[in-house]
Amino acid sequence: MATAKDNLIDGRAVSAQIHAETKARVEALARRGIQPGLAFVRVGEDPASRVYVGMKEKKSAELGIRSETFVLPAETTEDELLTLIGRLNADDAWHGILVQAPLPPHISESVVFSTVSPTKDVDGFHPENVGKLMLGDNSGFRPCTPAGVHELLIRSQVDTDGAQVVVLGRGNIVGKPMTAILCQKASNANATVTLCHSRSRNVEEHCRQADIIIAAMGVPEFVKADMVSEDTVVIDVGVNRIEDTSNPKGYRLVGDVDFANVRPRARLITPNPGGVGPMTIAMLLQNTARAAENATR
C-alpha cells in the first residue's frame, strides 16, 4: 500500500509543466508577429464565474496570451449574446472564445456553444468538436477538464492500456468526454470504461474492481475507502460546497472523494484542491495557442 506521503498526483506541478510548454509556443508565435487572443464572455455577475474568469485572465497574461472579458448584463437576450459571439467569430484577432457557464436560465447553453466557431471553440463544446472526439479525430479541441485528467494520467505514468476505468457521472463536461477519450484505440487510452451514473446499480462493486476511478458526479465525498482497492488510481474532479459552522464562511469545499480515508488505500490520488482544477486552465490555454497556430498556418 502506498504511504500517505508518496501517492499524491500534484496537479499544480503538472499544470506548470504544460504552462511552460504553452509559453514556448506563444513565444514562437510572437517571433512571427502573432499574439494568441482569447475572448471571455460572461453574462451576469455570478460570483464564481467572476473568480474563474479572473484566474484565466491572469494566467493568460503570464503566458503572453492577449485576453479580454466581454461582460453582459444578466437580462441580455439570447439573440444579443449570439450577435456578440458572431462578431468575435468574424474577428481574426480572437483565436479562442470561451463563454463562461452557467448562463442565465433564459439562454440555452447548447445553442450558445453551437454558435461559437468550432475553430475557436477552445472549450471543446461545439458539436463538431464533440463528434471529432467520439470518432478519435485529434483535429478537434477536447474539453479542458477531461483533457486535463488525461494529461495527469499520462504524466503520472498511469498505464491505461486494458485498464478497468470507472467514470462516475455522465455529464457533458466531464463524464461523457472522459469516457470517449479513454476508450479510443490509441496510445494512452485503450481502456475498458464503465460509466456509472445516478441510475447505475452496484456502483460500489464497479469501483472495487477498478484500476482507475474518475469521480465527477457532484456528490460530496461519495467515494469511500471501502469502494477503493489498494492498487487503484483515484482522480477527484468534484467541487462541492458543504455546511461547516466552524468556517467563517459557513461552508467548506470538498470533492467527490472522501480524501482523508481513501488516500491511505489508493496507489495514486489527486488532492482537492490542487489536483484537477489547475489542469483545466492549463488545457484551455494550450488549446488557445493551438488555435492561433491553426489560424496562422
Domains and CATH numbers, the chain: 32-117 (3.40.50.10860), 143-277 (3.40.50.720)
User: In one letter, which amino acid is 50?
Assistant: R
From the CB of residue 61, how many other CB atoms can be counted at a distance below 10 Å? 11
| Beta bridge partners of residue 163, listed in sequence order | none
Query: Once rounded to an integer, what is the mean pLDDT over residues 13-41?
Result: 98
Active site residues: 56, 100, 123
Contact 123, 144 (CB under 8 A): yes
The Cα 246–Cα 253 span in angstroms is 13
Residue 249 is predicted with a pLDDT of 87
Q: Is the pLDDT of residue 3 over 50?
A: no
> What letter would DSSP give residue 140?
S
Kindly report whether the peptide bond that precedes residue 273 is cis, defined as omega within 30 degrees of 0: yes
**pLDDT tens, residue by residue, 223-263:** 999 999 999 999 999 999 899 989 998 899 899 999 999 99
**pLDDT tens, residue by residue, 134-183:** 999 999 999 999 999 999 999 999 999 999 999 999 999 999 999 999 99
Q: Is the pLDDT of residue 86 over 70?
A: yes
Q: Is the pLDDT of residue 129 over 90?
A: yes
